[in-house]
Structure 1
Amino acid sequence: MSEPTGPGRVLHEPMTAVYPEFAGKTAVVTGAARGMGARFAAALAARGVNVVGADISEEQMQATAAELNEELSTLDKPGQVVAARIDVTKPDEHEAVAQAALTQFGRIDFWINNAGIFPFALAEEITPEQINATLSVNVEGVLYGAQAAARHMEPGSAIVNMSSVSAIRVRRGRGAYCTSKAAVAHLTESLAVELGDKGIRVNSIAPGYIDTEMTRWVKEDPQALQHALDVVPLHRLGSPEEVVGPMLFLLSDSARYVTGHSIAVDGGSRHV
């Protein structure tokens, strides 16, 4: 495969890894109505995983599930995507989604804590409402999801959390977000230590500049785009597919002795 040329070019080709051991398993993906969550759900279902996609917008989640199932219908033995509503700040709603997965599919093998928010405010302007909302969604949402998953998972199951390179790299105007993602990274390590007693692996993914709706502002601002291309050693933005690949790996048997880690998907930007 040839490398893209020109500033801002992105590799959107799908990953070809199959992971046959996924067939017949069940995953819960939060924040799955759009963006990375929808990509995660599609990639898992394409490999035979039944997916409960959960989002705060039930209507949008139902539309996404219908769209994905139609796309998947052309594949050989795909999994099914079903929709559920969740407010990740509420522990009982995580449990309700877990029960929905068990009722529909009889098991929970994978849980991806993907839901999150991306607020902007300079440090002196962060309000109590903003920091509370950010920590509640981005951190408590991960904790409550892991708790619900662990109650129903068997040994060999896996949880993947969404952290960010912002966990270790300070970005102006993103104090609340960076703080929340640093907490997710450390919480992942704590969960891995404790849930290891049950044979459950817990890892996180730390994306950098990925071409999604959340980072559209980078492509729309020539100065921000040039900065991104300058600080990324590969000198391009990443694609959602390039986050999907590590997600699949972390859930797979290929990573059965990998837990408590955060995999950076950032084109090397954390090193410069």
Structure 2
Amino acid sequence: MTLSIPADNHPGRVQGDLMQVEHPDLRGKVAVITGAGRGMGLRFSAALARRGVHVVGADIDGALMDEAARSVELEHDGIDGVGDVVGTTVDVRDRDAQQAVAELAVERFGQVDLWINNAGIFPESPATDIPVSQIQATLSINVEGVLYGAQAAASVMRPGGSIVNMASVAAVRVRRGRAAYCSSKAAVSHLTECLAVEYGDLGIRVNAIAPGFVDTEMTRWVQDDPEALAKALDAIPLHRLGSPEEIVGPMLFLLSDSARYVTGHILAVDGGSRHV
């Protein structure tokens, strides 16, 4: 693996194709990724397809998901050995809908080896003003969505399968105005550990990635506020935002045979901010 950090005029931001990580053991496997229409889900789809993994990307916005699948195909046009990317629609709050995604993957590619529970929301509200609709939606999408995805995955996976959930450093750090989000990610972290214990009986590994501040649309609110950005960078020992590519590398590791004796682990990718 090589890592380079090119110069950037934006304070605390890293750009460029930072990591070239190859996991040959992933080639020919089949992955399901929820929330794959944009952001990190789209990055995961592209990274896995590039390594010969067939991907079923699922998103609540079906048109966006179809566009995302086409964009991955165009990105890899002319490259040999690239995996296929198929888009479909899913509301992760619906357990039957997630099961249907699993069955679609089996019908299309014959199996499911990898599952990334990536779909989530990032609501904001002072704790005293959190409306019922917000806490219900947050727990339903961010927590129930992970559980239903894991259940669907386990129903079709063979021993050796790998599930990765998207947690957050917010599971262990308080962010003002994000009580619903923080509590949901704390639940995802512990749910990951619970699933790892029970799904170990099936030969399935379950881990989670816990990102900190990463340069995505979800953190645009802090990047567009110089004062907030300076405060955020001061709370990160590496004093910069992470890049999406720096989440992809750890994700590939957890999915791959390199991590075949790793389960129930919450891998923080946060520049050390959980310690500050």
Out of 99, 102, 107, which is 1:103 matched to? Answer: 107
- Report the counterpart of residue 150 of structure 2 in structure 1: 146
Counting matched residue pairs gives: 272
- Give the residue type in structure 2 aligned to 1:134: T
User: 1:161 and 2:159 equivalent?
Assistant: no
The DSSP-based 3-state class of the residue aligned with 1:84 is strand
Out of 90, 98, 114, which is 1:86 matched to? Answer: 90
- Report the counterpart of residue 117 of structure 1 in structure 2: 121
The DSSP-based 3-state class of the residue aligned with 1:155 is coil
The DSSP-based 3-state class of the residue aligned with 1:119 is coil
User: 1:188 and 2:203 equivalent?
Assistant: no
The DSSP-based 3-state class of the residue aligned with 1:87 is coil
- Report the counterpart of residue 72 of structure 1 in structure 2: 76
Out of 207, 213, 226, which is 1:209 matched to? Answer: 213
Out of 40, 45, 65, which is 1:41 matched to? Answer: 45
User: 1:258 and 2:266 equivalent?
Assistant: no
CA distance in 2, matches of 1:14, 1:102: 33
- Give the residue type in structure 1 aligned to 2:39: G
User: Do 1:155 and 1:198's aligned partners in 2 also have CA atoms closer than 8 Å?
Assistant: yes
User: Do 1:11 and 1:238's aligned partners in 2 also have CA atoms closer than 8 Å?
Assistant: no
CA distance in 2, matches of 1:167, 1:4: 31
CA distance in 2, matches of 1:58, 1:11: 29
How far is the alpha carbon of 1:13 from its aligned partner? 1.8
User: 1:172 and 2:176 equivalent?
Assistant: yes
How far is the alpha carbon of 1:2 from its aligned partner? 4.9
Deviation string 1:179-213 (CA, Å, 9 cap, x unpaired) is 00000000000000000001100000000000000
How far is the alpha carbon of 1:11 from its aligned partner? 3.9
The DSSP-based 3-state class of the residue aligned with 1:173 is coil
User: Do 1:32 and 1:55's aligned partners in 2 also have CA atoms closer than 8 Å?
Assistant: yes
User: Do 1:54 and 1:84's aligned partners in 2 also have CA atoms closer than 8 Å?
Assistant: yes
- Report the counterpart of residue 32 of structure 1 in structure 2: 36
Stretches (4+) displaced over 6 A: none
TM (normalized to structure 1)?
A: 0.98
Deviation string 1:7-35 (CA, Å, 9 cap, x unpaired) is 22214324211111111110000000000
User: Do 1:32 and 1:53's aligned partners in 2 also have CA atoms closer than 8 Å?
Assistant: yes
- Give the residue type in structure 1 aligned to 2:16: H
Out of 228, 243, 256, which is 2:247 matched to? Answer: 243
Rate the CA distance shift 1:169–1:2 in 2: closer, same or farther, 3 A.
closer
**Structure 2: runs of 5 or more not aligned:** none
- Give the residue type in structure 1 aligned to 2:92: V
Of all paired residues, the percent bearing the same amino acid is 64
- Give the residue type in structure 2 aligned to 1:244: V
- Report the counterpart of residue 14 of structure 2 in structure 1: 10
**Structure 1: runs of 5 or more not aligned:** none
Deviation string 1:30-55 (CA, Å, 9 cap, x unpaired) is 00000000000000000000000000
CA distance in 2, matches of 1:221, 1:80: 39
Deviation string 1:212-268 (CA, Å, 9 cap, x unpaired) is 001101110111100111011111000000000100000011000000010111000
User: Do 2:36 and 2:42's aligned partners in 1 also have CA atoms closer than 8 Å?
Assistant: yes
- Give the residue type in structure 2 aligned to 1:227: K
Deviation string 1:102-146 (CA, Å, 9 cap, x unpaired) is 010000000000000000000000011110000000000000000
How far is the alpha carbon of 1:5 from its aligned partner? 6.1
CA distance in 2, matches of 1:119, 1:9: 24
CA distance in 1, matches of 2:180, 2:167: 13
CA distance in 1, matches of 2:243, 2:103: 33
- Give the residue type in structure 1 aligned to 2:210: A
How far is the alpha carbon of 1:72 from its aligned partner? 1.3
Deviation string 1:86-112 (CA, Å, 9 cap, x unpaired) is 000000000110011001000000000
How far is the alpha carbon of 1:74 from its aligned partner? 2.5
CA distance in 1, matches of 2:126, 2:59: 28
